Structure 1
Amino acid sequence: MKYRSVFDIIGPIMIGPSSSHTAGAARIGRVARSIFGREPECVHIFLYGSFAKTYKGHGTDVALVGGILDFDTFDQRIVEALSIAEKKGIKISFFQEDALTEHPNTVKVVLGDKNNVLELVGISIGGGKIEIIELDGFQLDLSGNSPALLIVHNDRFGAIAGVSNIVAKYEINIGQMKVARKEKGQKALMSMEVDQNISKELLDEITKLPNVLQVTKIND
């Protein structure tokens, strides 16, 4: 794992005792909230490995919920996140899972309301850094460190080129890009991390492309 500076090793400004168990957890929760696009009515959190064993003592529970409430890692309200969620009427459930995962700090977050359900799997890799490895059954490789586009589309010829051409038109540099599909010719998910902020105009153009079904942006 490469770090850009000594501050990446020390970790971010944060609430809590552990960059992996609190700052990383808060960031995973916040990315899930950003993709969901609104405050959920219910949340199911499935914890694996080290997260499952120590989530209460290390504050992983309040950090995840704080992120889902859209609190940053240094927000003092994180310590009261569970009670804040309860006052808002958000139903929170935690589940300790025994299944073995590739990384010890793994969590699956399921957000839902009457209109939609989102399922996200993330890992906290240390120093407050995270990776989003699955979204609604699609495999991902999303760091959460940069603005990103998530595009659900039909798996058809020209779909990827159409999106790339629009991104190039707006002089947006692509840091990394991945396309995942469950079955050939069915739905696919394009994830793209970029170096600049994503404008509404760019989103609108991509949304109008043939075979594009849904477009979501994640801001840094």
Structure 2
Amino acid sequence: MAKQNYKSVFDIIGPVMAGPSSSHTAGAARIGKIARNIFSATPESANVYLYESFADTYRGHGTDVALAAGLMGMEPDDDRLHESLLIAQEIGFDIRFIPLAEKVDHPNTAKIVMRSGDRKMSVVGVSIGGGNIKVVAINDIAVDIDGGTPTILIFHIDCPGMIANVARVLSDLHINIGSMKVDREEKGKRAYMVIELDQDELHTSLQSLRELDNILEVLYIRK
């Protein structure tokens, strides 16, 4: 038998949650919450596009209420999760669910398009089982973020010295890099860095990163 590597006990017994399915409920709540964290607030409105298994069973498995709950900052085990659509209505949060027939790489996929005023952002998340998730795209740019570690996401123009400049600023801020993933559309075009941190929380401003040349956007993603 092949040896299994588990990060936590929840990989074996599943997460604590208020719902019938770890993939469709707990995972959906975590997708909603990480999307909210990336957006840095509860949006004024959101269109949620559901694919394959999510599209087929989102009402019966509570995927809709879980996604709404996560977008309002709730955890998967929050007692209010099943009332999230009513709570959203009460606070004026306009959320709409749109099941699609398109095929995608993973059956438990949701694309969340969030808006507040003139600001708009899209996040694509997949629920990969046991309540675990991945963010696979932000604003239609492919990324790979699991949400289990505080993360700095940097979009920038691909040019020499960017990684060194970012590492220097993080060192000046006394932020230790746990891991870094980099990718780009093509040479000289848009690129990104996913920087997972050693610390549990960030206690400093990232403005000095935003002021670097060729930086397009800097996002902090709490776990």
Q: What TM-score do the two structures reach when normalised by structure 1?
A: 0.92
Check whether the contact 1:155–1:188 (CA below 8 A) recurs between aligned residues. yes
Q: Match for 2:73 among 65, 70, 74?
A: 70
- Report how many aligned residue pairs link the two structures: 218
Q: Answer whether contact 1:148 1:193 (CA < 8 A) is retained.
A: yes
1-structure distance, mates of 2:10, 2:45: 35
The alignment's C-alpha RMSD in Å is: 1.7
1:154–1:213 Cα contact (<8 Å) kept: yes
Letter of the 2:89 counterpart: E
Greater shift, 29-38 or 6-15, is seen at 6-15
> Are residues 1:151 and 2:154 paired?
yes
Q: Which letter maps to 2:127? A: S
Deviation sequence 1:55-82 (CA, Å, 0-9, x none): 1111000000000001111111111111
Distance 1:25 1:39 in 2: 16
Match of 2:14 among 5, 11, 16: 11
Alignment of 1:1-220 (within 5 A): 2-169=5-172, 170-181=174-185, 183-196=186-199, 197-201=201-205, 203-220=206-223
Give the Cα–Cα distance (whole angstroms) in 2 for the partners of residues 191 and 138 of structure 1: 12
Instruction: Answer yes or no: is the 8 Å Cα contact 1:138–1:180 preserved in 2.
Output: no
Aligned-partner Cα distance in 1 for 2:39–2:163 = 23
Kindly tell me: are residues 76 and 101 of structure 1, through their superposed partners in 2, closer, same or farther at Cα, counting changes over 3 Å? Answer: same
Secondary structure of the 2:118 match is coil
Q: Distance in 2 between matches of 1:146 and 1:64?
A: 20
Equivalent AA in structure 1 for residue 22 of structure 2:
S
Deviations 1:119-138 (A, max 9, x none): 11110001110010011011
Q: List gaps (5 residues or longer) in structure 2.
A: none
Give, in whole Å, the separation in 1 of the partners of 2:26 and 2:195: 23
Q: Hey, what's the Cα distance between the residues in 2 that align with 1:7 and 1:78? A: 20
* Kept in 2: contact 1:47–1:94 (CA 8 A): yes
SS of 2:194's equivalent in the other structure is strand
Residue identity (%): 43
Write out per-residue CA displacement over residues 144-191 of structure 1, whole angstroms, 9 at most, x where no aligned residue: 00000111222222112211233345251323423333x542333322
Q: Output the CA distance in 1 between the equivalents of 2:177 and 2:190.
A: 25
CA contact (8 A) 2:154 2:192 kept: yes
Asked whether the equivalents of residues 149 and 217 of structure 1 are also in contact (C-alpha less than 8 Å), the reply is yes
Q: Deviations over 1:75-113 (max 9, x none)?
A: 111111111111111211111111111111111111012
**What letter matches 2:37 in structure 1?**
S
After TM superposition, what 4+ stretches of structure 1 lie above 6 angstroms from structure 2?
none
Secondary structure, counterpart of 2:55 in structure 1: helix
What is the TM-score of this pair, normalised by structure 2? 0.91
The alignment partner of 1:76 has SS state of coil
SS in 1 for 2:183: strand
